[in-house]
């Protein structure tokens, strides 16, 4: 390991690999740090299709998708460590960050002009979604269950209740069924499914798995292992309605209750956090509030598609390139991206007229026949529907950004 790099990438999943590849292609010297024993990140445990439709224009499985990226990474001969953990990212000066890294080969301290943080997200667990009851065997997050099955070859359980109908929950329902387990129900808090309609049909309806909308698992019961869950209807404010409890016998509970960006290391470095995305606040170079620390992938915002994650990795690498080339990003006039009607979250948070930018956003509620509007720059896009589960991805051109004075509002308006 040398002692100074243009860019150190933290995380060897799709965002980190894409960032490292792009940075290397731009001529930067790059080090990538991965905490697990192999590169590839979460797609390594995704044996189902639906990956790469935008990026490779092909429908691939997660493992096929990431294989292609890893091949490219290897061709470029990028320096990397697996089984390596970043203990600290200390912003030493505007130009340098000091990283403390522990690996099997020893402890290292390296300086980096820029850092691209792409360590992904963690899953929400039972304690933060208000499930009470017994803490027994047979409770897994979806990602843990998926890792057990598809990396280590272990079957978690036989009779399964899944909490959450996002794409992860739906795909796991199908996966368990194909391995011979009985999925007793998928429980969804919201009045609508959290995942794509295609997945509701292909993963639940085709297998006759019941979906409980506006319901919550409120309690897990069992002596040694899960024996049953108590499911309760919720009102419009998502509070459980007393008297509507129903018991479902099962030996396994799988929690697919959403993801939260995992930011431990850079939070300590002082990056500002957006309370809604729970990821960092970034500008259109994907630079955080600590100059020279960039972020991409699910550590930035929870994405639906790996294609977006890869795109963000490349974007962050281009940001790092600008930073290294100019000794920091140029002084710019930033326009704040303001969330208007029915926009729950949107990144990046600050836009400049120096480059085109891709905005990733989510709505708060499903609506049909709407327009996505940016009033200050006079831009409007017609959309047949919007759903909280489907990310809106929209490009703004630099000339469009230039039209706004100090803020750009993004809003969903009804078509009448």
Partner 1 sequence: MKTRIAIIGAGVVGASIARVLSQYEGLEVHLIERNVDAGMGVSKANTGIIHPGHEDDPEKHPLRAKLCVEGNRLWYQWTKELRIPAKWPGELMVALEEEDIKVAEYYLELAQKNGVPGVRLVDREELLRLEPNVNPNAAGALWAPTAGVMSSPMAAVALTENAVDNGVKFHPETEVRGIKVENGEVKGVETNRGFIEADIVINAAGLYADRISAMAGIDHFTIRPRKGEYYIFDDDAGPKVRRIVHQTPTPTTKGVYVITEMNDGVMIGPTAEDLPEEAKDDTSTTREGLEFVWEMAKKLVKGLPPRSRVIRTFAGLRPEPPDGRWIIEAYDDPWGFINVAGIRSPGLTAAPAIAHYVAEELIKGKLDVKLTKKSRWNPYRNAFWFKALPREKQAELVKENPSHGRVICMCRTITEGDILDAIARMKKMGVRTITLDGVKLRTGVTGGTCQGSFCRVRIANIIARETGVPLWKVSIKGEGTEYGIGDIKVLLRGEEE
Which chain residues interact with partner 1 by CB under 8 A? Answer: 35, 83, 85, 87, 102-107, 122-123, 125, 127-128, 130, 132-137, 140-141, 143-144, 147-149, 151-158, 179-181, 218-219, 221, 223-225, 240, 251, 262, 264, 267-268
- Looking at the DSSP assignment, which residues form a beta bridge with residue 197? none
With respect to partner 1, which residue has the nearer C-beta, 11 or 319? 11
With respect to partner 1, which residue has the nearer C-beta, 157 or 313? 157
Phi first, then psi: what are they for 324, rounded to 5°? -65, -45
With respect to partner 1, which residue has the nearer C-beta, 200 or 263? 263
**Distance of closest approach, residue 351 Cβ to partner 1, in angstroms:** 28
**Distance of closest approach, residue 55 Cβ to partner 1, in angstroms:** 26
What is the DSSP annotation of 358-389? Answer: EEEEEESS-EEEEEEEEGGGTEEEEEEEE-TT
With respect to partner 1, which residue has the nearer C-beta, 131 or 357? 131
With respect to partner 1, which residue has the nearer C-beta, 263 or 404? 263
With respect to partner 1, which residue has the nearer C-beta, 94 or 207? 207
**Distance of closest approach, residue 367 Cβ to partner 1, in angstroms:** 26
With respect to partner 1, which residue has the nearer C-beta, 9 or 404? 9
With respect to partner 1, which residue has the nearer C-beta, 106 or 384? 106
Task: Report whether 355 contacts 343 (CB < 8 A).
Answer: no
C-alpha distances (whole Å) from 172 to each of 183, 262, 344, 405 are 9, 22, 27, 47
**Distance of closest approach, residue 126 Cβ to partner 1, in angstroms:** 8
d(C-alpha 351, C-alpha 178), whole Å: 46
Least Cα distance to 100 among 6, 199, 8 occurs for: 8
d(C-alpha 229, C-alpha 358), whole Å: 42
Phi-psi domain of 57 (left: phi exceeds 0; alpha: psi -120 through 50; beta: other): left
Structure tokens at 320: 């790092």
**Distance of closest approach, residue 185 Cβ to partner 1, in angstroms:** 18
**Distance of closest approach, residue 279 Cβ to partner 1, in angstroms:** 14
Q: Residue 185: is it exposed, middle or buried by C-beta count within 10 angstroms (0-12/13-18/19+)?
A: buried
Task: Report whether 99 contacts 110 (CB < 8 A).
Answer: yes
**Distance of closest approach, residue 291 Cβ to partner 1, in angstroms:** 22
**Distance of closest approach, residue 152 Cβ to partner 1, in angstroms:** 6
C-alpha distances (whole Å) from 382 to each of 325, 386, 397, 401, 404 are 39, 10, 18, 19, 21
With respect to partner 1, which residue has the nearer C-beta, 102 or 383? 102
Contacts (Cβ under 8 Å, ≥6 apart) of 337 = 346, 348, 349, 350, 351, 359, 407, 408, 410
Assign 252 to helix, strand or coil: strand
With respect to partner 1, which residue has the nearer C-beta, 141 or 214? 141
**Distance of closest approach, residue 268 Cβ to partner 1, in angstroms:** 8
**Distance of closest approach, residue 391 Cβ to partner 1, in angstroms:** 21
DSSP 406: S
Which residue reads 């209740």 in tokens? 161
């Amino acid at each position: 390991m040398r002692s100074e790099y243009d860019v150190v990438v933290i995380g060897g999943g799709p965002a980190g690999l894409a960032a490292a590849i792009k940075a290397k292609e731009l001529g930067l010297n790059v080090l990538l740090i991965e905490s697990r024993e192999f590169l590839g990140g979460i797609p390594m445990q995704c044996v189902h299709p639906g990956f790469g439709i935008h990026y490779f224009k092909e429908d691939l499985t997660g493992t096929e998708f990431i294989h292609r990226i890893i091949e490219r990474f290897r061709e470029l001969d990028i320096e990397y460590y697996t089984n390596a953990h970043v203990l600290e990212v200390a912003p030493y000066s505007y130009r340098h960050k000091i990283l403390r890294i522990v690996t099997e080969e020893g402890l290292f301290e390296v300086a980096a002009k820029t850092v691209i943080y792409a360590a992904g997200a963690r899953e929400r667990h039972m304690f933060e979604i208000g499930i009470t009851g017994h803490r027994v065997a047979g409770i897994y997050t979806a990602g843990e269950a998926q890792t057990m099955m598809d990396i280590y070859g272990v079957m978690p359980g036989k009779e399964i209740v899944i909490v959450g109908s996002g794409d992860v929950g739906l795909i796991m329902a199908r996966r368990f069924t194909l391995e011979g387990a009985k999925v007793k129900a998928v429980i969804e808090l919201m009045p609508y499914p959290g995942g794509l309609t295609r997945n509701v049909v292909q993963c639940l309806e085709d297998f006759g798995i019941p979906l409980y909308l506006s319901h919550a698992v409120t309690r897990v019961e069992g002596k040694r292992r899960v024996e049953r869950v108590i499911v309760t209807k919720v009102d419009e404010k998502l509070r459980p309605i007393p008297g509507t409890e129903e018991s479902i016998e099962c030996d396994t509970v799988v929690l697919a209750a959403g993801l939260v960006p995992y930011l431990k290391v850079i939070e300590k470095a002082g990056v500002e956090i957006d309370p809604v995305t729970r990821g960092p606040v970034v500008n259109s170079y994907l630079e955080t509030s600590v100059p020279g620390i960039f972020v991409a992938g699910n550590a930035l915002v929870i994405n639906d598609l790996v294609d977006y994650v890869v795109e963000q990795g490349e974007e962050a690498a281009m940001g790092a390139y600008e930073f290294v080339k100019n000794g920091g990003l140029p002084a710019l006039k930033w326009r704040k991206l303001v969330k208007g009607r029915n926009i729950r979250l949107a990144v990046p948070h600050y836009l400049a007229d120096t480059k085109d930018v891709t905005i990733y956003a989510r709505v708060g509620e499903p609506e049909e026949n709407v327009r996505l509007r940016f009033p200050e720059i006079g831009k409007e896009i017609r959309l047949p529907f919007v759903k909280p589960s489907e990310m809106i991805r929209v490009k703004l051109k630099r000339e469009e950004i230039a039209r706004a004075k100090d803020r750009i509002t993004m809003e969903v308006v009804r078509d009448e």
